[in-house]
Structure 1
Amino acid sequence: MLNQNGRTAKLPDGPIVITGGAGMIGSMVAWHLNDACDRDDLIIVDHLQHSDQWQNLCRRRYSDYLDRDQLFPWLQSGVKPGAVIHMGAISATTERDVNLLMQYNFKYSQALWQWCARNEVPFLYASSAATYGDGAHGYDDNVFDPLRPLNEYGYSKHLFDLWVLRQVAQRVTPPHWCGFKFFNVYGPNEYHKQDMASMTWHCFRQIRDTGKIRLFRSARADYADGMQLRDFIYVKDAVDVVAHFLAHRHTSGIFNVGTGKARTFRDLALAVTHCQERDPAIEWIDMPAGLHGRYQYFTQASLAKLRDAGYTAPFRSLEDGVADYVRHYLTHPDPYC
């Protein structure tokens, strides 16, 4: 593949393991490696629990599929992968089973990190902007200790970030490693996520089926209805970042993956309706009681660390990302990438 200066950047030799490879981001990482890098020596690891999730793999080229419980026996068989891209996790922000989150978002991730450190295999993993909580300490990816996530999912991701930093301080690391604090990712192959799918997907379906988009009323006086702000990033841009660091192994660290520009939910609704050539009819609904005190009213990635690490590519605007998603996927009979 070519780097952003037009020079060749070499991907690791050996098979590339992608955990969560049938999920939204994982399957799109596989898409990028197939189409942009002509790599099909991929080991897809997942634990399929949704009836349609297999469709995320239908157009992918890969050499093997493993259930998440088969991964460690495979690793111990003597095969040395070129890299492990760990996108697998329980990603529902509404998950309340802390033991389950600890098992798969923390302990499983620890075990993979330790294996990669012992065997000198690059390790890239998914963190989350949910680690930032209510944003009281900003969205700087150099700040960790004072953060207080708003939900159990965010805490499980934050806990692993903190553990990684302790491993770094003790110099117990893979030869190259990166964590990615993904902000609000939307785009193809998220359909199995249902309630946890992006607001872009929900807005599209609502305007198509009912002629209206339902948005939460604000419960804070400093935010008008629909003016809650999020950093929405198109999934194709998110996986470009992952692929860049997979090929450029001179810099390790934990990086924000967002556009650096917060946009309102009203902006999102208008972008979706524009692509469907519909009038922007919005119905305001009360926020569910379970989200009070757990809802982020503002997120915006600081990109200074990412840019300093050499990632200089621009990110799509909300309007451009939504247009590609709606026109090339959501309005097609087969919406899978």
Structure 2
Amino acid sequence: MIIVTGGAGFIGSCMVRTLNDVGYNDIIIVDNISETDKWMNMRNKRYIDYVHKSKLLHKLPAFQNVEAIIHMGAQSATTERNFDYLWENNLEYTKALWRYCAKKQISFIYASSAATYGDGSLGFDDNMDIDQLRPLNGYGYSKQLFDQWVKHQSQEFPAQFVGLKFFNVYGPNEYFKGSMASMIFHGFRQIQETGKVKLYKSCNPNYADGGQLRDFVYVKDICSVIMWLLQHRDVSGLFNVGTGRAQSFAELVTATFHALHLEPQIDYIDMPEKLRNKYQYYTKAEMDKLYATGYPYHFVDLETGVCDYVQNHLVKDFLIY
């Protein structure tokens, strides 16, 4: 049995699909669906039970033959202001799952975040001392706190423990993330509605409008990494997961238009004042550490990933275009 927290969410539901595709159906999905439409991400998946996240810790002792916990569940909004909630949800809850995996000596694979790197002034090297990092928001700090807790562990270790610092993930099943969904999803909907896409103007003279750079990584590549880790349980550590390439939002949106066989039409708008002091202009994952483990696959380029996402998922899932 594999437990996938956040299993009705974006990355978690894609991971359930990946497990199903290799014939694995003995899965417990954990989430907090409430009145959202995330249940739609579960409709075509095979699993044995759904457990609300508030009941998981109570039910864990009764589960038999748990092989691994893939912990993708978290409060992932970078705009979340309730730090007490972030502390309990992203730190203390994750500690409890770690302790269970340590007691049972099973694999624990969890989502860290590239948001731990803050403004990027220290770089994006997953070999650096994580105690030096200064995240820009409460979400990033809550993720750093758990990474630090793991670093300073001296006794309790699962048989395998892996933290994954995801960079800018895009792909199918992000449809219910609201403002936190990728610019590809939002751009696709804007193209449907207006024929144009709005991007923020740059407030940094070193970057042109639309020239802000991110490491955009396709969710299917994320799932490939996790699946490989499940098959190589001798690998533990904290790893970046990105393409190792920094590309602009203008390139991203242009790829979205091209996937629809349209010429790009981009309007640049002022960045909200509240974002200007916390905005990252550049991210790029250093990937040597993951590849040094023997990970054999390369990440798809932005154009290929966007084309697959738009043509094989967005157009089919949102047929009003």
TM-score of the two chains, using structure 1 as the length reference: 0.92
192, 195, 214: which one aligns with 1:208 = 192
1:1-337 correspondence runs (5 A):
15-35=1-21, 37-77=22-62, 79-143=64-128, 144-167=130-153, 170-333=154-317
Instruction: For residue 192 of structure 1, give the secondary structure of its aligned residue in structure 2.
Output: coil
List per-residue Cα deviations over 1:236-288 (Å, max 9, x = no partner): 00111011111101110011010000100010011001111222111111111
Separation of aligned partners in 1, 2:131 and 2:176? 34
Instruction: For residue 29 of structure 2, give the secondary structure of its aligned residue in structure 1.
Output: strand
Separation of aligned partners in 2, 1:236 and 1:78? 29
User: 1:333–1:30: structure 2 CA closer, same or farther, 3 Å change rule?
Assistant: closer
Partner of 1:11: none
Query: Gapped runs of 5+ residues in structure 1?
Result: 1-14
CA RMSD between the two structures:
1.1
- The size of the alignment, in residue pairs, is 318
List per-residue Cα deviations over 1:272-305 (Å, max 9, x = no partner): 0111122211111111122122111100000000
List per-residue Cα deviations over 1:205-261 (Å, max 9, x = no partner): 111211111000111111111110000001000111011111101110011010000
Separation of aligned partners in 1, 2:114 and 2:31? 23
For residue 284 of structure 1, what is the amino acid of its counterpart?
Y
- Tell me, yes or no, if the aligned pair for 1:150 and 1:293 is still in contact at 8 Å: no
Separation of aligned partners in 2, 1:333 and 1:56? 11
Separation of aligned partners in 2, 1:267 and 1:334? 23
Shift of 1:334: 6.2
Shift of 1:77: 2.0
Instruction: For residue 209 of structure 2, give the secondary structure of its aligned residue in structure 1.
Output: coil
Flag as ranges the 4+ runs of structure 1 deviating above 3 A.
Answer: none
Instruction: For residue 48 of structure 1, give the secondary structure of its aligned residue in structure 2.
Output: coil
Shift of 1:79: 2.4
Shift of 1:80: 3.9
Separation of aligned partners in 1, 2:317 and 2:123? 41
Separation of aligned partners in 2, 1:304 and 1:262? 16
List per-residue Cα deviations over 1:132-181 (Å, max 9, x = no partner): 011011000112121111111101001111111111xx142101110000
Separation of aligned partners in 2, 1:174 and 1:243? 18
Of stretches 186-195 and 116-125 in structure 1, the one that deviates more from structure 2 is 116-125
Query: Gapped runs of 5+ residues in structure 2?
Result: none
Shift of 1:51: 2.6
- Tell me, yes or no, if the aligned pair for 1:45 and 1:68 is still in contact at 8 Å: yes
- Tell me, yes or no, if the aligned pair for 1:131 and 1:157 is still in contact at 8 Å: yes
For residue 330 of structure 1, what is the amino acid of its counterpart?
L
Shift of 1:194: 1.3
- Tell me, yes or no, if the aligned pair for 1:50 and 1:192 is still in contact at 8 Å: no
TM-score of the two chains, using structure 2 as the length reference: 0.97
Separation of aligned partners in 1, 2:64 and 2:318? 36
Shift of 1:120: 1.1
Separation of aligned partners in 1, 2:284 and 2:241? 10
